[in-house]
Structure formats: C-alpha cells, structure tokens
C-alpha cells in the first residue's frame, strides 16, 4: 500500500487513528506533543486543541495514519510527555474532527491506571 501523502510504501493495516489526549492546562504541553510526533517522524493529519478558560484540563486531538504497532508505540510515548493525564485511541476515524471532547461514553486509559513505564 502506498501512502497518498508521502508516496512511501506502507505496511498493510494502516488506517487513520485519532489520539484524544487530556493534559494539565500548561502552556508547553502542545509544543511537547507536536515535538514528539516530529521526533518520531510521524506526519500529523489533523490537530485540534481546546483550552477552556478557567479549566485545569487541556484537550487535544491528533489524527495520524498508523498501523496497530505504531499506535501502541505512540500511546506509550504520549504518556511520557509531562502533564499528559490520559490518552484514548479512536481507530478507523473517518471524520478528522468528529466528536466533542465532552463525550465521556467511551473509556479512557488513565496514567493512574497504568503501571510505570521502565
């Protein structure tokens, strides 16, 4: 399979994936997340951030094309970013900016529930 954007050969099982990230409302968090994708050489298809006035939580949605292994690797690396509190993966995302962040009907993985990464 050949990626439309990079014209490079991709493995089978590559699909659009959205990471729904919640983090502490700090100024440097967005820059750290974008830098992580850059360092891992992952092309961002879409990026959406909500920073509500007076809220202590920052909501970020990042859409990429990746396979299952790439998703797991990216999720593990996102948890290493300072101030990230939870990461949820939405596989097979058709709409780039579909659902609202306030939709809590699906479970999220929280750093509190995860064992430390060594």
pLDDT of residue 92: 73
> With contact defined as beta carbons under 8 Å apart, do 5 and 63 qualify?
no
Checking if the pLDDT of 115 tops 70, the result is no
For residues 3-18, average pLDDT = 67
Distance between CA atoms of residues 90 and 101, nearest Å: 12
Q: β-strand 15-24 against 46-51: which pairing, if any?
A: unpaired
DSSP string, 56-93: SEEEEEEEEEE-HHHHHHHHHHHHTSTTEEEEEEEET-
Q: Please state whether beta strands 46-51 and 109-110 pair in parallel, antiparallel, or not at all (unpaired).
A: unpaired
pTM equals 0.69
> pLDDT tens digit string along 53-64?
888 999 999 999
Whether residue 34 has pLDDT greater than 60: yes
Q: Is the pLDDT of residue 84 over 50?
A: yes
* Per-residue pLDDT at 96 exceeds 50: no
Mean pLDDT score across all residues of the chain = 79
């Amino acid at each position: 399979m050949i990626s439309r954007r990079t014209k490079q050969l991709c493995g089978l099982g590559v699909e659009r994936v959205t990471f729904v990230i919640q983090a502490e409302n700090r100024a440097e968090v967005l820059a750290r997340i974008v830098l992580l994708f850059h360092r891992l050489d992952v092309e961002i298809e879409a990026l959406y951030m909500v920073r509500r006035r007076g809220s202590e939580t920052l909501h970020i949605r990042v859409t990429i094309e990746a396979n299952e292994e790439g998703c797991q690797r990216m999720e593990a690396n996102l948890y290493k970013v300072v101030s990230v509190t939870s990461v949820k993966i939405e596989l097979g995302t058709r709409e780039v900016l579909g659902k609202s962040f306030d939709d809590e009907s699906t479970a999220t993985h929280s750093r509190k529930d995860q064992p430390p990464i060594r």
